[in-house]
């Protein structure tokens, strides 16, 4: 475990079972197992880019928890500090979405990850870190998990640690009304917020994306990034507005590409890139993951938070 991590993040890690023989859970009989989870995906991508990352998760005292921990270890993540509890390890079953519409089935109610609480956050290590990354997924898991995110945010603000917040609204986890109420109160005074056009609309309330950008920026958010799938991103950075066209690739598996994007962007900022350069790096990372099967299989190795020169 690094003494002074570049990035500190935490959230639920699940066992991911993905269809192999067909692109539909309804007809598949064979599945491949790996690990999944937004914050874990960010941690793996940042580790591949050469930064020191502290990723905390909670797993059950079961063989599925052992398997998930092993997947992260194989990806270069230290799992010795992972917390093990009596609740079961969460799982996700899905198709890969290349032919059929992507369909996720979550098995996570009362899972180990839902038991996150403020006491699980290593505040001393967070204070030594350069950056905290959190997502709306953890906020949605339970009241105690929401409180853990709020606690980490306040601690990071007080210690002048950089902060990113990925809205990442999972509508199967909570109602739109609950998501709006909770995230509207939490998303403020951070360095970077990312999310899709529809997610910003849900949180900030306007049908006009430009008004939502402005509203987010007014909350003390240094950089607001609004994604729109393969279309141009809208960006508001320190009050200045610009667009960015993401990398175009043939999408094989879109899941995890957004996490790779935010991770590549954060790493770029920590490496000293301008916001435009950091977003360009994040876009390349997202494209790599989208063009391969799995949440992080396509991520290449870099150094110091930067992609190799051949990919810049």
Which active-site residues does the annotation give? 259
- Cα–Cα distance for residue pair 6/162, rounded to 1 Å: 10
Rg (CA), the chain: 18
Spatial CA neighbour of 303 closest among 51, 54, 53: 51
Does residue 183 sit in helix, strand or coil?
A: helix
Exposed / middle / buried, residue 139 (Cβ in 10 Å: 0-12, 13-18, 19+): buried
| Structure tokens given for 138 | 């953890």
Q: Is the dihedral of CA 263, 266, 271, 276 positive or negative?
A: positive
- Residue 266, φ and ψ in degrees, nearest 5: -60, -50
196: helix, strand or coil? strand
8 Å CB contact between 135 and 38: yes
Beta-strand pair 192-196/162-166? parallel
Residue position matching structure tokens 């899905």: 94
């Amino acid at each position: 475990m690094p003494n002074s991590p570049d990035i500190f993040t935490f959230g639920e890690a699940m066992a991911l079972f993905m269809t192999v023989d067909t692109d539909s859970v309804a007809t598949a009989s064979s599945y491949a197992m790996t690990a999944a989870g937004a914050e874990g995906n960010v941690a793996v991508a940042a580790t591949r880019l050469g930064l020191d990352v502290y990723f905390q998760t909670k797993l059950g005292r079961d063989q599925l928890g052992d398997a998930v921990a092993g997947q992260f270890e194989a990806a270069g993540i230290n799992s010795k500090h992972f917390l093990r509890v009596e609740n079961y390890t969460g799982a996700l079953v899905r198709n890969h979405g290349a032919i059929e519409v992507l369909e996720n089935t979550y098995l996570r109610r009362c899972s180990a990850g839902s038991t996150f609480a403020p006491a699980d956050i290593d505040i001393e290590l967070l204070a030594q870190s350069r950056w905290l990354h959190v997502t709306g997924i953890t906020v949605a898991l339970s009241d105690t998990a929401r409180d853990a995110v709020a606690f980490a945010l306040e601690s990071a603000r007080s210690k002048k640690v950089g902060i990113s917040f990925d809205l990442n609204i999972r509508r199967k986890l909570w109602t739109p009304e609950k998501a709006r109420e909770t995230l509207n109160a939490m998303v403020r005074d951070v360095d970077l917020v990312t999310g899709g056009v529809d997610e910003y609309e849900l949180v900030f309330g306007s049908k006009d994306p430009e008004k939502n950008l402005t509203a987010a920026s007014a909350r003390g958010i240094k950089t607001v990034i609004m994604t729109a799938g393969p279309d141009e991103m809208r960006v508001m950075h320190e009050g200045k507005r610009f667009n960015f066209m993401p990398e175009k690739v043939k999408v094989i598996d879109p899941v995890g590409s957004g996490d790779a994007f935010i991770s590549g962007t954060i790493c770029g900022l920590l490496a000293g890139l301008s916001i435009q350069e950091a977003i360009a790096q994040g876009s390349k990372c997202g494209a790599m993951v989208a063009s391969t099967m799995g949440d992080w299989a396509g991520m290449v190795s870099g150094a110091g938070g930067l992609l190799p020169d051949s990919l810049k």
